[in-house]
Structure formats: structure tokens, C-alpha cells
A and B are shown apart, each in its own frame.
Chain A
Amino acid sequence: MGILDKFLKTSWGVHPHEDHKRPAADVPLRGLPLPKRLAVPLLQHVGAPAKPLVAVGDQVLRGQLIAAAQGNVSAPIHAPSSGVVSAIGPVTAPHPSGLDFDAITIDLDGEDRAVEFTAVEDPLMLAPEEVTRRIAEAGIVGLGGATFPSAPKAQLGRKHAVRTLVINGGECEPYLSSDDCVMRSNSNEVVDGVRILLHATGASEALIGIEDNKPEAIAAMRAAATGIQQIRVCPVPARYPMGSDRQLVQVLTGLEVPAGARTASIGVLVNNVSTCAAIHRALRLGEPLIHRIVTINGGAVARPGNVRVPVGTLVEDLLAFVGLKETPARLVMGGPTMGAALPHGAVPTVKGCGGILALTAAEIAKPEPSPCVRCGSCARACPMGLLPMEIAARVAARDYDGAEKLQLDDCLSCGCCAYVCPSNLPLVHAFSHAKGEIWKRAQQKKRNEFTKQLAQARIERQAREARERAEAAARRKAERAAQLAAEKAAAARPQETGA
């Protein structure tokens, strides 16, 4: 980072001195032998969980729809292999809390029989809406980790008339190389997926951003994209968090995404390379998203590398396949900076899982935190231009409004600040806590509004009921009076005739 960089304000981010990507990245892609059992979660995406369509005891085939999308932002779930549904219920979620979420457990029969896939000869001849519909039906979500359903994203792109697609091959987190592996081994699939996505979104160009620490991927992608005018492969400097959409967009297009807005608002749509490969398979082969490439890495792994894994495979089955040199001190799903620590190995992999790390005690060793010395390293490292030390001071004092005023909302939780902090302060932890608190307060407020409405409705209902009761009583009284009068009249008449 020279003086010029400082003036151009591009000094964000960090350069982890050892990215641990190799040798795992250079090992050829392996396929996982079918495990005995898969636990396919119903919530593997941003939005509403999918709704199960099968019952316990049902026979399912590979690619069969087993849970339907619910609502606009959601994604369906398909069976990754053939077998019998043995349970629909809670399994441990890949989440630091160790809480449960619902999954469909399938006991595999090992035959891997598939449903018939409906392939499309030439997806580029289909209407963009039809392409989007097929992407939605295939259950494709953003495979970079954010897991936003791809179909609504493409719709968003059309709505905002985006010009540029940014294809994210940044993969900046240490240890991970699944996107690298996809670009090296399936570069043609990725490029074809990009063409389909260009067609679906109506964008006029696609920029594939790849960090320059992946020369093999850059070469493979360049070869695959030769002769396609709309697609350009753009090497970008290796710097964490280059794989964050806002940072990659800024480096590739020079445009900055406004705070609180999506990239679509400035005419750019970001998609991950693995997502593009999945889109290719969904359209050309008709195959839904049922497996993905996962990097298995970390000091405790005997044979690290990239493995093609059916969605829902338990982490312990994956670790058994690659072998362990020692008992890992920590299991992580995702990367070391933004991934989630797992409570144990009986956790299913999900669509957004790009890596499983089995780390040794030495790898996760963390010195004791000491007081902030206000050096400002964190502010220099923050890719969003925030002031982490100021926000952390507010959070420490539980002044969440103050933290919000300092734009805590823009924090990516990338961990650059904590990485450079000489006092080893748990900054990301503090920010995650504060974000959770702020969310809880907003929820509580909404709840209060809701219960107030309910209470009001009840009061109105009781008043109405009382009024109706009074009216009914009055009516009955009137009827009785009329009846009495009639009886009286009837009793009086014979007397009259008699007289």
C-alpha cells in the first residue's frame, strides 16, 4: 500500500500473511462416496423455510422435489440421492448457538436412482422470465455463502435494468478454494452459466473478478471465455475481503454502493461463480441444486482438498472421508473469518457451505485481549470506512443507539478490524452482539405494536358484543310486550262479543 493508495482511499482490508489455500486448492476434485444418510435442511437460504412435500416412509429419487418454496423469497429443496425418508424434524443447525432446525432425513439406498431431468437445448432462446422460473424451480441460491435465492435476484436485476453483472470469483477467505476449484475444473460450465444469467437479467456485460492468487483459475476462465465479447475476466489484487460484493464492485467498476442499498441500485448485480455453474446445470441438464463443491481443510485434516458433496451430508461423514490426523479443536463451516463454529460433527452441510475446516488448537490460539490503545489500525483496515474502536466503545457501554449512529448497520462482520487489532479485542463478537440486540429491540417494538392492536380490537369487540346484547334484549322485550298485548286483546275480544 503506497502513498497513492492512501489518497485513493483504497487502503481497506488486510493481507493475511499465510492464506492456507494450498496445498488443498491444488488437489484434484474428488467425489464423495454416497453416505448412509443425508439430513437435508428446509432452511438453506435467506427467506422463508421450504415446506415439506414428503412424509416419513416415502421413497424419494435423486432430484425429486421434497420441499416447496414458500413466499417470494424462498427456494425449493430436492432430494440429493435416492432412498427412504426416515424422519422430518429437528437436527443441529450449522450455527454457533447449536440450536436445532428442521430437516428431512433420508436413509440412502445407495442406488442413486434419479428422476427424469428436463434439459433445455438452448436456454438462450427461452424468454428471460422462463429462465428465471427454471432457476427458481432448481432451488438455486447464492453459493458464495449469502444464500439469497438466485431467481428473485435476477428479477431484481431486470427491475433495476442492470447493465453489468459482476461474477464473484474473489474467494478471499483463507483456507477456502471451492470457487477456485469450480473455475479450474468446470470453467466452461461457469462461463455458460454467466451467459444464461446475462440473458436472464438483460445485462450487457459480465466482469468475472478473480483474485490474482489464483493464476490457474484465471487462465482456465480466460480460455473458456475466449470469443465471448460480453464476458471479461478481470484479475483483482488478492486482498481480504475482496469477495465481498461491495468491495469487488468498487474495484471492478469504480462505483460505490450507497449505505443500506443493494448493488442493483447502481446497475450492478453480483453472482458467485459456483452459482453460475449451478445455473448452467439447472438449464442445460435440468438438474436441481443437490450437490456442491466443498473445501475440506485445516490442520487436523489428513487429506485436505475439494470434494463434490451432496447437500445434507453430515460433517462427520465428510471428515471420515478425508481422514483426521488429530482430534480437531474446532470445527467451522465456512471460512475462518466469517464461518460458523460448529458444536459437533453431526451437522448437515447446506447449499451455502463452501468449506468445512477442522482446526487444531494451535490454529485457533488467541492471545488474551487487553485494553484498546486507540491506534486506529481497525479504522484503516475497515473496508466499509467505519470506526470500529468507536463502535466497540459504545457496545461495551451497551449504548446500542450510539453504535447504530456510527453506521454499525454497514458492518460486514468481515473481521478485518479484529485481525489487525494489536489488543486482540473481540470486535466482531461485540458487533454481532450489538446487531442482535438492535434486531431484538426492533422485534420487541413490532410485537408491542401488534399486541396493542390486538388489545384495541378486543376492547372494540367487547363493546360491540355488549351493544348487540343490549339490542337483542330490547328486541326481545319489545316482542314480549307485543305478544302480551296481543294476548290481552285476544282475551278481551270474547268478552266484547259476550257483552
Chain B
Amino acid sequence: MFIAITSLTLLGLILGTLLGIAARVFHVESDSVTAEIVAMMPGTNCGQCGLAGCQAAADALIEGTAPATVCPGGGAALAEAIAARLGIPLGAMEDSGPKVATISEDICIGCSKCAKACATDAILGAAKQIHGVLDEACTGCGGCLDLCPTGAIALQPQAQTLQNWNWAHPLAA
């Protein structure tokens, strides 16, 4: 028993030290552009792009396997910023504006599945209580849509207010 503990501990220590040294010696500088792109992204790892999180999406952008419009959560503004930073074409984009999740109170059964899964804690509610979405915290990633057993959640365009309303682009100007 004592021998087993000692040998395993020693083995762990030696291998750990080796790994630590290797990490220092063979340190790979991560691409600063990737870091920059990751910083621009919503950072919620929502997976709407079909990749494994924001880091993966940034890597794909750098490799050129993803278009500038890869991130639906970031919307048009992010796509344009990425295109400008990487010097890649923006491409055609269907931007229907920012969206937020809404929960239909009539069919919400208060199962809390969506609240637990929300990457930004934008859904409020407790078991057997009707849930609600905090508009300003929701990124519209849609991660909650398929979790709802009653289909009570839908993505809807952000409500127009006096603050966010804007004049249409005057094409003639």
C-alpha cells in the first residue's frame, strides 16, 4: 500500500514537472489576431455557428474556413468588424436585426430547463413558475429553443423603442 502511494506520487511529481518544463520550453505563441477576434465575439460559446464555441469560430475565421458572417449572435456589426479586421469580403448577409428570446406565458410549464442552459443567465424563473427573459442580457443565440418541452420559446426581433428607432437609409443621398 505504502509503496503504491509513494511510487504514484513520485511518478505524478516527475511527470508534472516535465510537463511544466515542456510547456515553457515548447511554448507556442497563440496568434494575436485570433485573440483579437475572440475578444470581439459575444463570448457566450452559444454554438449557433455550428462550431465548438467562440475560440473555434475565431480559428475557423483565421483559417478561412468560415465566412465573416459566421457569428449570428454578433449580428451585422460584428460581421463588418471581422471583415474589416481580416480584410475578407463581407459577403451576402441576411440580417434581420438583433433578436431576443421570448417565452409564451400561456404554455410555459416552469420546468427550468431553459434557465439552466442559458449562457448569459438571461432567463429568470424557478421550478413551476412562469419564466421570463431579460431582454438586455439575451444574445438571441437560440440555445434555449430546442430545450423547451412545450415549444414556448421563440426568437423575436428586439422591440422598437423611441431610443433604438432609426431613420431608414436614404438611398438617394
A binds B: yes
A397 nearest CB across to chain B (Å): 10
A398 touches B42 (CB 8 A): no
Q: Is B120 an interface residue (CB 8 A)?
A: yes
Shortest Cβ distance from B171 into A: residue = A396
Among the listed stretches B5-13, B17-25, B58-66, B160-168, which one makes contact with chain A, having 4 or more residues with CB under 8 Å of it?
Answer: B160-168
* 391-436 of chain A: CB within 8 A of chain B: 392, 395-396, 398, 425-427, 429-430, 432-433, 436
Chain A residue numbers with a CB within 8 Å of B72 are none
Contacts A99-B162, A426-B172 given; does A432 touch B43 at CB 8 Å? no
Q: Is B136 an interface residue (CB 8 A)?
A: yes
Chain B contact residues: over half helix, strand or loop, or mixed? loop
A395 to B165, CA, bound (A): 18
A454 touches B121 (CB 8 A): yes
Chain B residue numbers with a CB within 8 Å of A116 are none
A430 touches B121 (CB 8 A): no
B161 interface neighbour in A99, A395, A398, A455, Cβ under 8 Å: A99
Q: Which size bracket describes the interface of B in this complex?
A: 20 to 34
A173 nearest CB across to chain B (Å): 20
Chain A residue numbers with a CB within 8 Å of B43 are 448, 451-452, 455-456
Chain B residue numbers with a CB within 8 Å of A398 are 169
Chain A residue numbers with a CB within 8 Å of B119 are 455, 458
Q: Is A97 an interface residue (CB 8 A)?
A: yes
A441 interface neighbour in B77, B121, B139, B171, Cβ under 8 Å: B77
Contacts A97-B162, A443-B164 given; does A426 touch B170 at CB 8 Å? yes
How many contacts A-B (CB < 8 Å)?
90
Q: Is A447 an interface residue (CB 8 A)?
A: yes
B172 touches A433 (CB 8 A): no
A448 to B45, CA, bound (A): 13
A97 touches B173 (CB 8 A): no
A458 touches B121 (CB 8 A): yes
A454 touches B137 (CB 8 A): yes
B173 touches A436 (CB 8 A): no
Q: Is A450 an interface residue (CB 8 A)?
A: yes
B109 nearest CB across to chain A (Å): 24
B45 touches A455 (CB 8 A): yes
A440 touches B45 (CB 8 A): no
Q: Is B75 an interface residue (CB 8 A)?
A: yes
B139 touches A97 (CB 8 A): no
Chain B residue numbers with a CB within 8 Å of A441 are 77
A433 interface neighbour in B75, B120, B170, Cβ under 8 Å: B170
Chain B residue numbers with a CB within 8 Å of A432 are 166-167
B167 interface neighbour in A429, A456, A458, Cβ under 8 Å: A429
B139 touches A451 (CB 8 A): yes
Q: Is A444 an interface residue (CB 8 A)?
A: yes
Contacts A97-B162, A425-B172, A433-B167 given; does A452 touch B121 at CB 8 Å? no
A455 touches B120 (CB 8 A): yes
Contacts A426-B172, A457-B121, A458-B120 given; does A436 touch B77 at CB 8 Å? no
A448 interface neighbour in B74, B169, B172, Cβ under 8 Å: B74
B122 touches A99 (CB 8 A): no
* 6 residue pairs bridging A and B, Cβ less than 8 Å apart: A95-B165, A369-B173, A432-B167, A444-B77, A451-B137, A452-B42
B interface, CB within 8 angstroms of A: 40-45, 74-75, 77-78, 98, 119-122, 136-137, 139, 160-162, 164-173
Task: Name 17 extra pairs, CB < 8 A, besides A101-B162, A452-B42, A455-B44.
Answer: A95-B162, A99-B160, A395-B170, A395-B173, A396-B170, A425-B173, A426-B172, A427-B173, A429-B170, A430-B169, A443-B164, A448-B43, A451-B139, A452-B44, A455-B42, A455-B43, A458-B120
